[in-house]
Each structure stands twice: as C-alpha cells, then as structure tokens.
C-alpha cells in the first residue's frame, strides 16, 4: 500500500485526537478568561501600533517597522473587519491549526501517514508552541513559515522542476520576512540546487527569482515609506545584538546594565537619549540607534573576548535545556491564571535528545535534508548571535518533530543490539537537559506589571492596581512599575498613595528621562487636587 494513503492505527488516531481536543480547550479558555487576549504590551503593542498605521493609511502605512513587518500585516488583515486585536489573535489561532495540518500533509507526502502522524503528535506535544500560539508575538508565525519551507522542499524532492524551485524560493523569502535570520536558508538551499545533477542554472535561477519575488513587496513598501529598500526591522537587529552580547549579558534578555527599562514602547526614546542620537526622521533615528548598539556591542566583545566566548557557550547550554526561558509573557504566571495552561508535554531538551539520534536515519533526503539543516542553522545562529529564549528557539521544533520518531526507533534498535556507547550518549544528553538553567519558579514582577496593563486596557482599574501591588512587592525599585502605579492610583482618587510612590521614585539616583518627565507631570496633576 502507498504509505501516503495508509490508514492510521487506532492508537495514533486517538493520540492525535486527544492532543487536538486539549489544544482547542486551552486556546478557548485563554480567549475567554485571560485579558492578554484583548490587550497588547511590549513587542505586541509595537505590532498593534504598526497594524493600526497600516489600517489608517492603507496599504503602506506611514511609519517604519520597528519590528517585523510581515507580522504587522498579519495583524492588520483581520482588523479590517473590526479594529480589535482579538480578531488578529483569532486569525493567528486558525493559522496555527492549519500549520499543523500542513505539517502532517508535508511529512506524509515524504515519509507516509504513520510517520507524519507521530511527527505531528510530537509537534502538538510541545507546551511552548501552544503557549506562543496565543501571544501577540512572531513565535507561532516562525513555525508556520518553517513548515512552509519544509512543504516546498518536499515538493522539490518529488519533482525538482524549476517551477517547484521557484515555489521553494517564495517560501524562503516569506520565511525571511517572518524571521530575518532565515536569510541563511538562501545560501544553503542554493548549494542544494547546485548539487543536483542537471539543469543547475535553471534551478538556482528559479530559486533566486522566487526569493526576490517574495521580498520585493516589502522592500518596495519600505522604500516608499522610509527611503530604504530593506526588508529588515528598522533597527537592523542592533537592539537584540546588544542585549545578547553586552558586558552584563548572561545569555537571556537583560537590561544591559540599566540601558533598557524593559518597556519597548519607550525603548527608542530611552536609547536616543542615552546614545546621543541626533533628531531626524523615524527611519533615520531607528537606524542610527541600531548602528550605535552594534558598535557598542562589538567594542565590549573586543574588550573581553574570553567573557564573550564563555557567553556563547552559555547560550547554547541554555538553548538545549528543558527550562522554558520566557520573557514578554511568563509561563509561570499563566499557570497561575489558567488551570489548563500547557505545562505538561514533551520537554524541549528531551525531544532534542531523541531527535539527535534520529538524524542519521534521515540520510538521503536531498533538498529536504538541506531545508531541515537550514532551519536548524538559522535558529541556532539567531540564539547564539543575539540571545536565547523559548520563543527564539521555537522554529527548532519543526526539524526536531520530524527526527524524533526516528530517534525513538534508533534507540530501541540500540537497546536490542546492546550498543552501550549509543545508550550512554543518549543518557548523558537526556540527563543534561534536566539540569536546571534557571532558578526562577514563580511569576516575575514584569508578568504582574504586564497583567496590570492588560487589566487597565479592558476597564478593570482596581484589579490593575492590585496586580501592580504584587509586582512592586517583588521589585520595589522598578521605576516603570512604580510610576505606572502612581498614575493608576491618581486616576482612582488614591492621591496619598500616588504621592508616596512619587516620593519613593525621587529618592532614586538615576532615572530615565521619560520617567522623570512623567513624575513631574504626575506631581502637577496631584497638586491640582491639593497633594
């Protein structure tokens, strides 16, 4: 029987059905009970601003994309029906569901329905994929474009015609728009095309044309709006590079020794002030900030290359573990809010340990192997060049899910034939994945602050203040949280408490200029009420 038409076993069918039901239950509960589904903050707020700019000045907008433009367009599309961010989240969830179906179809065309079923079980079993499908971030989109590259590579594997190489180029170009680090796929797949026995020039040419066609609309849009025909975020990755490589970096997000407050909506204003960037157009200022941060980061690396090499090793160590290093959203905080938060599933490090031993059984995959290798190289490069997090490593789930079933088979074969070296190597990888990477086991102060922002957005000011109280218990010195609580207290008439927060803030030696400006503004407002 053709493996692409075989019937799935009852056990496999039941596993897939159970995982789909659990996923739908989780997403439905999140939409109904968590205010994050209705409000944006941090990176999500930047994407919402970009999407609303596109809606108000369709189809190009008037501002440079501080972050990825493709996601801004993805948010804007459903908001044309009703300008609510919840519509964007609904589309994102539909797209996530289609991505899993697309993944199953692509793997089944290549390796049969049974293999595709188990690979899809693996993909559905990663808790962080479900977690990021609910968030106003590009994590879920990165997985979608990864599956698009895999699906296009499978079609080329079936028939390497120039037309299918053109489609693969289109998929890679869209992937670059979704995650700029996927640009590394271009040379790797060009090598794959060159290694073919015949019609090399036609295939490479078709692939190149596909990439250009995918990138051209975004480059044209940015040229028209900013004067720069680029497809990258306006800062060119400079902010992420400095966060990941400054003298205070530890491999994950950090405030770069106080350079950043963590409030992305104020990030540009803060950096312009600290770096001494001259005033100019939006595009000029953001590009200048990115360039200055690259120069500062490279300077600090040059001053202490040994520290930087240790930092790179640490990033890899963090990336391959089971700890889910979340940043903008806190998975510990979500567990506190939702009984059905996806905390149970296949830990990433465990899946990676199995997948490593399945790679050898995928030999002879041709362009598919190159595509999977490219997805790994692109994702690892981003985590090492910038900083690692659960979101940044998310695209690795696609090649890991493909290789995991083969890894299970390889290890079972090794156990039967008593190949102790293989089994010891697997045990070491598995054990290392459980070694704690982080001491954090409770929700962070930033989680409670972000939750308070969401409560205020949905018209629950008292819950917002109570939530900010919890944040300040954890971080009493955090200027952004305290000034926002002072503002919320003043709006609710708690003038004495608001004044007390401002008094505490003014005792701090160094505050960002925009925080000082807000303190002065709040002082003026309180004086009008006699405080």
Tens of pLDDT, residues 189-211: 999 988 876 778 899 999 999 99
Please state the rounded mean pLDDT for residues 504-512: 84
* CA-angle at 325, arms to 344 and 37, nearest 5°: 70
What lies within 8 Å, CB to CB, of 351 at 6+ separation is 122, 126, 397, 400, 401, 404
Does residue 59 have a cis peptide bond before it, meaning omega lies within 30 degrees of 0?
yes
Tens of pLDDT, residues 149-162: 999 999 999 999 99
What lies within 8 Å, CB to CB, of 493 at 6+ separation is none
Q: Is the pLDDT of residue 171 over 70?
A: yes
* pLDDT at residue 286 in the model: 86
Q: Residue 315: enclosing H or E segment and its boundaries?
A: helix 305-319
Give the residue from 102, 29, 109, 119 showing the smallest Cα distance to 346: 119
Q: Is the pLDDT of residue 263 over 80?
A: no
Give the residue from 144, 157, 149, 148 showing the smallest Cα distance to 109: 157
User: Which of 116-120, 251-255, 337-341 shows the lowest mean pLDDT across its residues?
Assistant: 337-341
Round to whole Å and give the CA distance between 361 and 189: 21
Round to whole Å and give the CA distance between 460 and 462: 6
DSSP string for 165-220: HHHHHHHHHHHHHH-GGGGGHHHHHHHHHHTSSS-HHHHHHHHHHHHHHHHHHHHH
Q: Is the pLDDT of residue 148 over 50?
A: yes
- Average pLDDT along the chain: 93
* pLDDT at residue 22 in the model: 94
Q: Residues of 240-274 as b/e, b for ≥16 C-beta within 10 angstroms?
A: bbbbbbbbebebbbbebeebbbbbbebbbebbbeb
* pLDDT at residue 2 in the model: 56
What lies within 8 Å, CB to CB, of 185 at 6+ separation is 149, 172, 175, 176, 371, 374, 375, 378
* pLDDT at residue 1 in the model: 46
Round to whole Å and give the CA distance between 394 and 143: 7
pTM: 0.94
Give the residue from 88, 61, 63, 86 showing the smallest Cα distance to 75: 88
* % of the chain with per-residue pLDDT over 70: 99
Helix, strand, coil share (%) of the chain residues, nearest 5? 70, 0, 30
* pLDDT at residue 14 in the model: 97
Round to whole Å and give the CA distance between 176 and 145: 9
Q: Residue 229's Cα: distance from chain center in Å?
A: 25
Is there a contact between 315 and 387 (Cβ–Cβ < 8 Å)?
yes
DSSP string for 339-390: TT-S-SS--HHHHHHHHHTTGGGGTT-THHHHHHHHHHHHHHHHHHHS---T
Tens of pLDDT, residues 5-37: 788 999 999 999 999 999 999 999 999 999 999
* pLDDT at residue 3 in the model: 58
Is there a contact between 318 and 325 (Cβ–Cβ < 8 Å)?
yes
Round to whole Å and give the CA distance between 222 and 202: 30
Q: Both tokens of residue 144? A: 């979608």
* % of the chain with per-residue pLDDT over 90: 80
Q: Is the pLDDT of residue 106 over 60?
A: yes
Q: Give the position of tokens 């971080």.
A: 475
Task: Sketch out the chain's domains with CATH numbers.
Answer: 10-228+324-434 (no CATH), 447-527 (1.25.40.10)
* pLDDT at residue 361 in the model: 83
Q: For residue 423, what pLDDT band results from cuts at 50, 70 and 90?
A: very high
């Amino acid at each position: 029987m053709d493996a692409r038409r075989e019937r799935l076993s009852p056990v496999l069918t039941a596993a897939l059905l159970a995982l789909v039901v659990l996923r739908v239950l989780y997403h439905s509960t999140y939409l109904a009970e968590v205010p994050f589904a209705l409000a944006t903050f941090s990176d999500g707020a930047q994407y919402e601003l970009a999407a609303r700019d596109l809606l108000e000045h369709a189809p190009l907008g008037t501002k440079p994309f501080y972050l990825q433009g493709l996601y801004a367009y993805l948010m804007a599309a459903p908001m044309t029906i009703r300008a609510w961010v919840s519509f964007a989240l609904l589309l994102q969830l539909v797209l996530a569901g289609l991505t899993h179906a697309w993944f199953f179809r692509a793997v089944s065309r290549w390796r049969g329905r049974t293999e595709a079923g188990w690979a899809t079980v693996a993909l559905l079993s990663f808790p962080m994929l479900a977690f990021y499908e609910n968030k106003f971030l590009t994590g879920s989109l990165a997985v979608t474009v990864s599956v698009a590259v895999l699906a296009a590579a499978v079609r080329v594997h079936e028939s390497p015609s120039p037309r299918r190489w053109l489609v693969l180029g289109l998929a890679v170009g869209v992937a670059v728009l979704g995650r700029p680090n996927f640009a590394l796929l271009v040379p790797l797949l060009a090598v794959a095309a060159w290694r073919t026995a015949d019609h090399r020039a036609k295939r490479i040419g078709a692939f190149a044309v596909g990439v250009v066609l995918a990138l051209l609309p975004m480059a044209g849009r940015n040229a028209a709006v900013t004067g720069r025909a680029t497809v990258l975020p306006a800062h060119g990755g400079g902010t992420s590079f400095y966060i990941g490589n400054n003298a205070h970096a530890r491999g994950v997000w950090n405030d770069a020794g106080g350079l950043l407050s963590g409030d992305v909506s104020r990030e540009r204003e803060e950096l312009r002030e600290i770096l001494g960037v001259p005033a100019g157009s939006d595009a000029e200022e953001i590009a200048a900030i990115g360039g200055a941060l690259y120069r500062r980061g490279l300077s600090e690396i040059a001053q202490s290359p040994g520290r930087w090499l240790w930092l790179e090793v640490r990033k890899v160590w963090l990336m391959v573990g089971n700890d889910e290093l979340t940043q903008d959203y806190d998975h510990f905080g979500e567990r506190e809010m939702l009984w059905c938060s996806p905390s149970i599933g296949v830990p990433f490090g465990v899946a990676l340990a199995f997948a490593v031993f399945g790679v050898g059984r995928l030999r002879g995959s041709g362009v598919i192997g190159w595509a999977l290798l490219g997805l790994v190289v692109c994702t690892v490069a981003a985590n090492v060049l910038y900083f690692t997090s659960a979101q940044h490593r998310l695209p690795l789930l696609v090649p890991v899910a493909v290789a995991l079933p083969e890894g299970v088979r390889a290890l079972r074969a090794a156990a039967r034939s008593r190949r102790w070296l293989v089994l010891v190597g697997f045990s070491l990888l598995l054990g290392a994945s459980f070694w704690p990477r982080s001491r954090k086991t409770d929700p962070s102060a930033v989680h409670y602050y972000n939750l308070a922002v969401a409560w205020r957005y949905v018209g629950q000011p008292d819950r917002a203040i109570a939530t900010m109280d919890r944040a300040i218990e954890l971080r009493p010195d955090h200027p952004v949280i305290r000034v926002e609580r002072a503002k919320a207290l003043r709006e609710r008439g708690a003038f004495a408490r608001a004044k007390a927060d401002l008094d505490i803030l003014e005792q701090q030696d160094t505050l960002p200029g925009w925080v000082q400006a807000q303190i002065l503004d709040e002082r003026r407002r309180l004086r009008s009420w006699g405080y």
